[in-house]
Structure 1
Amino acid sequence: MCFHLTLALTLTLALILPLSATTPSFQTQCLSFAPPVLPNTTLRLQEHIPPNTTLPLHGTDPTCARPTQFLSIETCRIALTLHTSPRSSVIVDIFLPHPSAWRGRTLTTDTDGIDGCIKYEDMAYGVTHGFASVGTNVGHNGTSGVSFLNNEDVVVDFAWRGVRSAAAAGRAVTEAFYGRSVAGRRYYIGCSGGGRQGIQVASMFPDEFDGVVVGAPALNFNAMAAWRARFYTITGAVGSEGFITEEMWKGRIHSEVLKQCDAIDGVVDGVLTDASLCAGVFRPEALLCTHRVTESCLSAKQVEIVREVFSPLYGVGGTMLYPGLAPGAESLATQRLLSGTPFPYSVDWFRYAVYSDPSWDPASFTIADAQAAQDKNPGNAATWPSDLSPFRDAGGKLLVYHGGADQQITGFNTEKWYNYLSRGMRARSEDLDEFVRFFRVPGMGHCSGGVGAWQIGQNGGATQGIDFEGRYNVLAAMVDWVENGVAPETIVGTRFVNDSVAKGVELRRTHCRYPLRSTYVGGDASSMESWDCK
């Protein structure tokens, strides 16, 4: 068997059954469809899904927490196993909407963190809006990285090969199913680890996607894993000397951040419009107890912990490896970074991908570990491209968004990468605007949630109540850009009351493309007309 990366399509006319209006029923068409013959690929599953079905996801790892997926659209489901090497394979799941609902597009979706969990909610989002949706486990199952142990091929599948292989297979199946090309209408959407994967594939395979939408990308991945690992050594374990409780982070410390920085943007509303303006002026010393330690102030040791939390990670020789946590994100960061427990994705990355040593102790982390991860760069996962001109020249478009209160991947890193890309390509912002648009979303947490106007149509879990219209929806904006040449100047974000669509819109705000900043110009601060990009 020949193992290679290129999924060349070898079709026999006898195996092709394109759909037409004259065929008897969609169920019959789906079940009688003969998928194209792809190298090193086997058919796992083929089924017809009626509209308004809660689909049981049999075989999905329990840690993925996705036992079912609701599908409102009548769908044909094709699942494949792609063997990427003699010791690795990826699962690919494809949702094909009824021909009357298909808009001639494919949408490849992502995975989170270091996991191998197919994002069925994003696939459902795509198929609902007329995309043939493609998902993949990128070579392993569940949220653990244990499959990386002593298997570089599995790491490579996670880093980039899984997404690229899934996209190629999904495209081949889609074109055979409908009997027409999807050239010029191939899209990708992902956030966090999936954001990194999208940029990595755009960098390595510039012809794979026409439009790439990524949020909170886990760029400079090895440095990010080290940055996350470092927090446990800063905060200490729960109950250790000086440990700062969740209540203190969310209460007194967060209140002090807002006291010092909320008014910088001209509106006191609990949202820092540009956290970088706070990072340069915030003084945790204001929290210092002057007489005795109480629940309303911090000890000297705790003040130093707060300062370290907001500080960058520096490596060997004093080089900055990764920017600090953004002020304002501390309230949400108690979920992981400030919880007093090791960050699980970092633990698994160092144990199974960097060191191949399951006994590695996260409490022992030092900058030497950060350097080791950088030096090894398992699977070429780093993802820090300085030149995307091949993607640009192929006609590709890239839309990036990042929350200003991201509690897992600091938005400062995406700003750093954008500026690095600008220097590497010798391109001004107006030049990059030709094919890259980066939107900062004040108050948004990691990929979604938060106190800002965070709902922008970014994924299946954050689209209810958001019209599929380029002004409000990043995926729709990408379609307009690719197919109509209309680049998004701004994105209007929405926040519903208590994040409930039924309770109505609480605020809308115009989010600006970097380096422009959302600026209050007067009037009702909850209205998007009161903000401009300057």
Structure 2
Amino acid sequence: MVSFTWSIAILAGAIAHQVASSPESCASFCGQTSIPNVTVIASEYLLNGSQITLPGTVESCGGSDLKANITADLCRLVLIVATTPSSEVQIEAWLPDAPSWNGRSLSTGNGGIGGCIDYATIQNGAGLGFASFGTNAGHNGSVGYEFFLNQPEVINDFGHRAIHIEAEVSKELVTQYYGSGASKSYYAGCSTGGRQGFQNAHLYPEDFDGMLLGSPGVDWLHIVASKGVLAHRIGWPDLNSSEYVRPEQWPAIVEAQIKQFDALDGVADGIIDEPTKYRFDPASLACGTGLLNSSLCLSPQQIASVRRAYEPIANTSGHIVYPSFELGSKTDVFSDNQVNGTASLSYTILEDFWRGAIYNDSSWTPDNFSEFDMDFAIQANPGQVNAGETNLASFYQKGGKIISYHGRNDETVTSAVSERFFTGVQSTLNLTMDDIHEFYRLFFLPGMHHCSGGLGAWSIGNAQKYPYDQALLDSEHNALIALVEWVENGTAPEILVGTKYENDLIGSNITAQRTYCPYPMASKWDGVNDTSLAASWKCVSY
């Protein structure tokens, strides 16, 4: 098999003679580049190993003290693209010098309600030789409703347009800067970035050749709405209600689930490998059973509330539209819901998006949120944000490839969403499992939280996580490199090996590794060898 490192070297050697990048060429290019509706607002030539500050960055994106590590000798450009007379997106471009450029481009997405450029993935991409790009998706900041209020075109940018604009601009910019187009175009994003990627594959299938999509927030409006529905199921916002389950009770509830189901996969490691398989009865935590002390145990009314919290969500017509919240996952997204004795959801995306984009009403609050508000949002679908379209036929037919991954301990986007979406694509395209695995492979990572982190061996070259481990830059340990191998060499990823580092510091001492498998195969311990070794985990059928 041709290695990724070798292919980069060959590509770099093949194109090095075409253009010699330098501080002068970077500066002169900014004055010469011409792309419709694009304005270069900043440019600088930067050396590998240096660090830059990003003054003016809004607080919710890291603040004015945010820094970025320069991972190649490169030309950095900041662009403004007018998408309509009333909206624009910001794009960041990191263009490695020609001897280091691998001939490819890498675009990135966002998290939450957008507004922050994904510098982590840009840094990783430039370090691997990609011409790397990021976007703010049409507004600056990941907290707030003001940028959506009375701004339908800004909502369109966030909803469906920004990634397509990024793809188009990046292709033209690469061609003008290097003198030739990218050989292949890639995309990497997690959470909202995963939603953006799947939506782009449906709406604009020619934009990218390969996509790395983590914890994808497809069916985004139901995902966000679920936090309000679940909060109300547990008695919020009436903090004095007999049905209300207090924030401090939830860690004990989750810990009881882990104690009950953890070892059923054969390994007692604090991880429920396949939480969708089990059903939890909170009656076991009733006051008087002795499992929880008197300050944490559940009253009969609270037992009913917890039971409701783990039921799937139905719309006002009675049809199930969102899977159950998964056992063993932190519940903060709906149970962290008071500040100094006053009802207030810590999960601000619900209030921000419904206030600014759904109802266009700055006074709206989620205090009375219900399935009616959820259904109203689904019907309105501002900006086509609810990317749940499973018809990826054009992307499949053109030969595009998708590697998706999802933590089984995801507290924000329940991993069952990815199961449902995968089977939905298979059904829509009427594909056998072998057929769908020709272009779309989904990997579940037990013990991983949302996009990264958790007790499991979660590091697989995740989008939005910097830096990559330089010792594990191969197609088994790094999902982006696996994607390149698949797109360019036809080598589909049969496994991915996840790595757990000491204190979760990538590149530090490795404490465990685990083999992960394309769904519907599952990763199972062989029952004999050291569970911290990847070779001890095998791919088996469900």
Quote the offset at 1:459 in angstroms.
2.6
Cα contact 1:284–1:307 (8 A) shared by 2 = yes
Give the Cα–Cα distance (whole angstroms) in 2 for the partners of residues 93 and 295 of structure 1: 51
Whether 1:351 and 2:355 are equivalent positions in the alignment is yes
Give the Cα–Cα distance (whole angstroms) in 2 for the partners of residues 254 and 232 of structure 1: 16
Whether 1:29 and 2:25 are equivalent positions in the alignment is yes
Point out the more displaced range, 66-75 or 214-223: 66-75
TM-score with structure 2 setting the length: 0.90
Cα contact 1:35–1:173 (8 A) shared by 2 = no
Structure 1 residues 504 and 247 mapped into 2: Cα distance closer, same or farther (>3 Å)? farther
Quote the offset at 1:392 in angstroms.
0.9
Whether 1:78 and 2:77 are equivalent positions in the alignment is yes
- For 2:22, the aligned partner's letter is F
1:45 corresponding residue in structure 2: 42
2:341 corresponding residue in structure 1: none
1:248 corresponding residue in structure 2: 249
RMSD of equivalent CA atoms: 2.0
1:277 corresponding residue in structure 2: 277
Identity rate, percent: 34
1:299 corresponding residue in structure 2: 299
Whether 1:526 and 2:532 are equivalent positions in the alignment is yes
Give the Cα–Cα distance (whole angstroms) in 1 for the partners of residues 37 and 86 of structure 2: 12
Q: What is the CA deviation profile of residues 154-189 of structure 1, one whole-angstrom value per residue up to 9, with x for unaligned ones? A: 111001211110111111111211111214x10000
Q: What is the CA deviation profile of residues 345-400 of structure 1, one whole-angstrom value per residue up to 9, with x for unaligned ones? A: 11111111111111112011011111101110111111112221100111110111
1:152 corresponding residue in structure 2: 152
Give the Cα–Cα distance (whole angstroms) in 1 for the partners of residues 455 and 88 of structure 2: 40
Give the Cα–Cα distance (whole angstroms) in 2 for the partners of residues 309 and 430 of structure 1: 37
Counterpart of 2:334 in 1: which secondary structure?
coil
Give the Cα–Cα distance (whole angstroms) in 1 for the partners of residues 502 and 92 of structure 2: 35
- For 1:411, the aligned partner's letter is S
Counterpart of 1:96 in 2: which secondary structure?
strand
Give the Cα–Cα distance (whole angstroms) in 2 for the partners of residues 24 and 189 of structure 1: 28
2:500 corresponding residue in structure 1: 495
- For 1:431, the aligned partner's letter is D
2:394 corresponding residue in structure 1: 390
Give the Cα–Cα distance (whole angstroms) in 1 for the partners of residues 413 and 19 of structure 2: 49
Give the Cα–Cα distance (whole angstroms) in 1 for the partners of residues 202 and 231 of structure 2: 33
Cα contact 2:20–2:97 (8 A) shared by 1 = no
1:441 corresponding residue in structure 2: 445
Match of 1:286 among 281, 284, 287: 284
Whether 1:128 and 2:133 are equivalent positions in the alignment is no
- For 2:195, the aligned partner's letter is R
2:322 corresponding residue in structure 1: 322
Structure 1 residues 75 and 379 mapped into 2: Cα distance closer, same or farther (>3 Å)? same
Cα contact 1:115–1:145 (8 A) shared by 2 = no
Quote the offset at 1:435 in angstroms.
0.3
Cα contact 1:229–1:347 (8 A) shared by 2 = no
TM-score with structure 1 setting the length: 0.91
Give the Cα–Cα distance (whole angstroms) in 2 for the partners of residues 473 and 35 of structure 1: 37
Q: Which runs of 5+ in 2 are unaligned?
A: 1-14, 338-343
Quote the offset at 1:24 in angstroms.
7.6
Cα contact 1:195–1:218 (8 A) shared by 2 = yes
Q: What is the CA deviation profile of residues 209-261 of structure 1, one whole-angstrom value per residue up to 9, with x for unaligned ones? A: 000111111111121221122233234259544544454322x2222112221
Cα contact 2:513–2:532 (8 A) shared by 1 = yes
Whether 1:506 and 2:494 are equivalent positions in the alignment is no
Cα contact 1:106–1:131 (8 A) shared by 2 = yes
Cα contact 2:190–2:464 (8 A) shared by 1 = no
Cα contact 1:36–1:172 (8 A) shared by 2 = no
Cα contact 2:214–2:463 (8 A) shared by 1 = no
Q: Which runs of 5+ in 1 are unaligned?
A: 1-18
Cα contact 2:121–2:466 (8 A) shared by 1 = no
Matched positions, count: 509
1:12 corresponding residue in structure 2: none
- For 1:324, the aligned partner's letter is S
Structure 1 residues 417 and 22 mapped into 2: Cα distance closer, same or farther (>3 Å)? closer
Give the Cα–Cα distance (whole angstroms) in 1 for the partners of residues 240 and 538 of structure 2: 46
Q: What is the CA deviation profile of residues 60-97 of structure 1, one whole-angstrom value per residue up to 9, with x for unaligned ones? A: 21211152111132110112111111101111110001
- For 1:487, the aligned partner's letter is A
Whether 1:216 and 2:215 are equivalent positions in the alignment is yes
Cα contact 1:217–1:414 (8 A) shared by 2 = yes
Counterpart of 1:402 in 2: which secondary structure?
strand
Counterpart of 1:125 in 2: which secondary structure?
helix
- For 2:531, the aligned partner's letter is A
